[in-house]
Amino acid sequence: MAKRIGGSRRKTRSKLKKNIKQRGKISFSRYFQTFSENDRVYLNAEPAVQEGIYFPRFHNKVGTIKGKKGRCYEVQIKDGKKQKMLIVHPVHLKKCQE
């Protein structure tokens, strides 16, 4: 069996790149934002913070908050026909406006 070269951020040059105007320090309000259960959120990765980041396949997907684990949130998403549970830091989440 062939051995895979690279880690979880492999082939994500454009996906995990910030716009030139958004570079620099991240905002505290985004880092410490809170969500309640059953809130709908976008998975929007912050490349400057590696902790609590999800697998890049799920970038820009919509999920539902199901609970909290430490500082991170449990987000349930649909991947094809399956329901998956991700543990994501709040800096990588953006609330859906409905």
pLDDT per residue over 15-51, tens digit each? Answer: 889 889 989 888 899 999 999 999 999 999 999 999 9
Q: What distance in Å separates the CA atoms of residue 59 and residue 68, rounded to the nearest whole number?
A: 20
Enter the pTM of the model: 0.88
pLDDT level of residue 7 (50, 70, 90 thresholds): confident
The CATH H-level (homologous superfamily) assignment of domain 28-95 is Ribosomal protein L21 (2.30.30.70)
End-to-end Cα, the chain, rounded Å = 47
- pLDDT for res 31: 94
